Amino acid sequence: MKTTMEWLALQQVLGVCQGHELALLEAIEDIQLGKLIQKDLTALGKEDRRILDQFAYRYTRLQDDLGAKLIPAVLRALGEEIAAMPMLDRLNKMEQLGWIENAEIWADLRRIRNEFTHDYPETSAERLERLKFAISAAQTIIGVLRIIRQKIQARFGN
């Protein structure tokens, strides 16, 4: 692919998403190494709270940047006109083109994220359950990014 504004934008946002991916993977690893998924989440120390904050922040940033920046950049690089296209239509277009597996899962991933980051359940068991769902959802988002990255490399080189 020739160096175009679309290609440069795509490369830039892909790099940002890869940075979020790396930090999110590190946070997941720290959660597992720190055995946070076995602790009473009502009495966390400073380091554990930092790890959970990092996880929540990077999950949010990766999902937001994928949806608001990377997907539009991919569609523009593919020559699609997306200016008036809402997010759901962009996701459906990506699915139609074979770049993502399931556009409908996006709403579930966002709901899980919002429940983890904005709702504060009463019991430690409920918090732990939400953390487990959030980790699984984060891994799904990382998988979406990896598929998109592979398709970018296959389609455009680099």
Tell me the pLDDT of the chain (158 aa) as tens digits.
456 888 889 999 999 999 999 999 999 999 888 777 666 666 778 888 898 899 999 999 999 999 999 999 999 999 999 989 999 999 999 999 999 999 888 888 888 888 877 766 667 778 788 888 899 999 999 999 999 999 999 998 75
Which DSSP state fits 68? I
Host domain of residue 130: 5-156
Per-residue model confidence (pLDDT) at position 121: 62
- Give me the CATH number covering residue 60: 1.20.120
Number of domains in the chain: 1
Per-residue model confidence (pLDDT) at position 40: 61
Angular region, 152: left φ>0, alpha ψ -120 to 50, beta rest: alpha
CA pair distance 145, 106, nearest whole angstrom: 13
Q: How far is CA 96 from CA 82, 91, 136, in A?
A: 14, 9, 25
Per-residue model confidence (pLDDT) at position 39: 63
Q: How far is CA 16 from CA 9, 10, 22, 132, in A?
A: 11, 10, 10, 25
- CA torsion 61-67-69-71 (nearest 10°) is 140
Per-residue model confidence (pLDDT) at position 89: 94
